[in-house]
Chains A and B, each alone.
Chain A
Amino acid sequence: MSFIAKSPWILHYDGSSCNGCDIETLACLTPVYDIERFGVINTGNPKHADILIVTGSVNHQNRDVLLNIYNQMPDPKAVIAVGICAITGGIFAECYNVLGGVDKVLPVDIYVPGCAARPEAIIDGIVKAIGILEMKHQNMRIKSKWRLRWPWKSELKFSY
């Protein structure tokens, strides 16, 4: 049993979004949807976060910012692209300054479509990301060298 499923902390980053998806993301925290029921907290700090939610497309300016944020998050971590702009670049895909979706820079785990994505869809995406986080946590435990190993548990000797 992994506790990461019970307390996924999210970090919300707005790359050139029109604010539509941001408002819907923040609406998840309001009394109507109240995502804190599942232990989700919107942290403002990458070093405390488990899930990175990105809204809006990636451009030449915020590419480095996004990479910096992602690299500061400790493992295991998951990335959710919320809204069509974060998935492919949306209507801004052809702009001269836009690189495209978030997956041009980061390994995206969950895509939540919509313009703007609805809060129900975002909550669904977060719940799916929790499953991915659990899987990554399992892999991390198998791979880690520094963790205490129990010799009688054979599956821990398995290495990739």
Chain B
Amino acid sequence: MKIILGVILYIVAAPLVGGILAGIDRVLSAKLQSRVGPPLLQPFYDVLKLFEKRTMIVNRFQNAYAWCHVIFMAMTGAFFFEGGDILLAVFALTLAGIFLILGAYSSNSPYSYLGAERELVLMLAYEPMVILTMVGMYMVAQSFSFMEIAASQRPIILYLPGVFLGFLYILPMKLRKSPFDISSSHHAHQELVRGLTSDFSGSMLALIEIAHWYETTLLLGLVYLFFSFNPVVGVCAAFGTYFLGILVDNSYARLKWELAFTSAWGIALVLGGGNLAILYFIAGG
């Protein structure tokens, strides 16, 4: 019963947190460009407006894929925050991403098609580091459960500084922020129009936006786990990471996919793999 209540609380609260974070992102980005910027609740207005618009559907599979994307994204967070297996949560997250890619592949638009291909490349780029993060958490806390890792009271960041830095490096890929927004940027200003979501419109685009808010909350939850020995420090670190992401988003140009891919794997190997190897030898296996 407690778990069911928790899941309902998560499903309601996570998009609110994600949406307000997106609003802070837009206000801060405007301030960094010396503009006034939109109101804080602008992302909510955008999504509510998209629900009011008529939805243009390219083919009959597109809607199903968008729905699967948001359902699996919400499910991932529910697994994660209600003490489920974080390894399972990460694979469910990948599944949610795959549904979005299939939705983009299903349309005939070349922009959407290229966006889907680039998203697959990005997925290949960030997955090793995500798996190494999970393995590192297990090595420190001896558990894959969110609750048990958070309750272990060990300062995971001190054991896994390299893994944390590697995770920070791939975070912009998941948040679709600037050095790595090659598959789909926040606003349709890049060479692929809007990449993945070019052919989604109206309420389907709104669903994808809500799924993105769930994803933001989930990723900040992962950052929190590194600092979970002290909840205050953990929450501050999660938000601090997000603000760092906004700063990087505003100060870096977009990378090419080759560089994004090779650098992500290099950093996963050196920082993530190196950190885990040192931990393995110091802890004595």
Contact = CB atoms under 8 A, between A and B. Distances in A.
Contacts of B54: 74-76, 140
B148 interface: no
A89 to B, nearest CB: 29
Q: Dominant SS at the B interface? A: loop
A76 B53 contact: yes
B39 A39 contact: yes
Nearest to A41: B187
B15 to A, nearest CB: 16
A157 interface: no
Interface stretch (A2-10, A61-69, A80-88, A116-124): A2-10
B45 A6 contact: yes
B45 A39 contact: yes
A38 B37 CA distance: 8
Chain A interface size, as a band, is 20 to 34
A84 B37 CA distance: 30
A50 B53 contact: yes
A48 interface: yes
Contact of A43 (B30, B34, B37, B188): B188
A79 B95 CA distance: 40
A6 B49 contact: yes
Interface in B12-30: 26, 30
B36 interface: yes
Contacts of B52: 2-4, 137
B202 A74 contact: yes
A38 B53 CA distance: 18
A30 B37 CA distance: 11
Contacts of B35: 30-31, 34, 36-37
B279 interface: no
Interface residues of B, number: 30
B49 A47 contact: no
B53 A43 contact: no
Contact of B38 (A37, A72, A76, A140): A37
B46 interface: yes
Contacts of A76: 53-54
A39 B56 contact: no
A44 interface: yes
Contacts of A38: 38
B206 to A, nearest CB: 11
A2 B49 CA distance: 8
A97 interface: no
A139 interface: no
A45 interface: yes
A34 B37 CA distance: 7
A42 B38 CA distance: 13
Nearest to A11: B188
Interface in A120-144: 137, 140
B188 A48 contact: yes
Interface of A: 2-4, 6-7, 30-31, 34, 36-39, 41-45, 47-48, 50, 72, 74-76, 137, 140
Given A4-B52, A42-B187, 6 more contacts: A3-B52, A30-B35, A37-B37, A38-B38, A39-B39, A48-B205
Interface of B: 26, 30, 33-39, 42, 45-46, 48-49, 52-56, 187-189, 193-194, 198-202, 205
13 contacts: A3-B52, A4-B53, A6-B45, A7-B42, A37-B37, A42-B189, A43-B188, A47-B56, A47-B198, A74-B53, A74-B55, A74-B202, A137-B52
